[in-house]
Amino acid sequence: MSVLLDTNILTRSAQPGHPMHKAAVDAVDILRTRGEQLYDVPQNMVEFWAVATRPSSVNGLGMTPTQAQAELVRIKNLFRLLPDTPAIYDEWETLVSRHQVSGRNTHDARIVAAMNVHAINSILTFNGDDFKRYSAINVVSPADASLIDAERESPAED
């Protein structure tokens, strides 16, 4: 399975003191251990930068640009960054029109467009509701990754 990591997984992974940090890191570890291919797209990097460099007083991480750049380098070393292509815009336009997407959700539509273009079938996210309109992709929450791993590890019943 190919899995794209949503921006919220990246941001929570970069916040050791956040209550969702462990769930994000553990889910990534589980998927990696299972041999899943883990990806990101430029849209995630742009969104991460916006959150990372926003002050913590307005729901950001409060990083300096230098700190955010170091975190981007770390992310790109851990996960494969897929390229932006002209086909992503065309797919995005199709998705927002077909699903009547508006407002903030247009960013998620662009992530789905990149997934479609790059044939990535699953997304790991804390915000599954943001992607439920897209029936062609599999939404995996960090808790689901743990459950799937536990099912694989438990012995078969007699």
CATH of the domain at 54: 3.40.50.1010
Query: Is 10 contained in some domain?
Result: yes
- Distances in whole angstroms, Cα of residue 152 to Cα of each of 25, 36, 76, 105: 19, 14, 29, 34
Query: Is 115 contained in some domain?
Result: yes
Query: Is 107 contained in some domain?
Result: yes
Domain interval for residue 101: 2-144
Tens of pLDDT, residue by residue over 90-127, are 999 999 999 999 999 999 999 999 999 999 999 999 99
For 126, the enclosing helix (H) or strand (E) is: none
Average pLDDT, the chain: 91
List % helix, strand, coil for the chain (3-state, nearest 5). 55, 10, 35
Query: Is 156 contained in some domain?
Result: no
| Size of the chain in residues | 158
Model-level pTM? 0.89
Query: Is 103 contained in some domain?
Result: yes
| Strand 80-81, strand 37-40: pairing | parallel
Q: Distance between CA atoms of 108 and 111, rounded to whole angstroms?
A: 5
Q: Establish how many alpha carbons lie within 13 A of residue 129's alpha carbon, considering only the half-sphere containing its beta carbon.
A: 0
The dihedral sign for the CA sequence 94, 95, 100, 104? negative
Query: Is 78 contained in some domain?
Result: yes
CA nearest 54: which of 43, 44, 63? 63
Query: Is 154 contained in some domain?
Result: no
Q: What is the pLDDT of residue 145?
A: 86
Beta bridge partners of 140: 124
Q: What angle do CA 22, 122, 144 make, to 5 degrees?
A: 40
Query: Is 127 contained in some domain?
Result: yes
pLDDT (average), residues 66-94: 97
Tally of domains within the chain? 1
- 25 with 143: CB under 8 angstroms? no
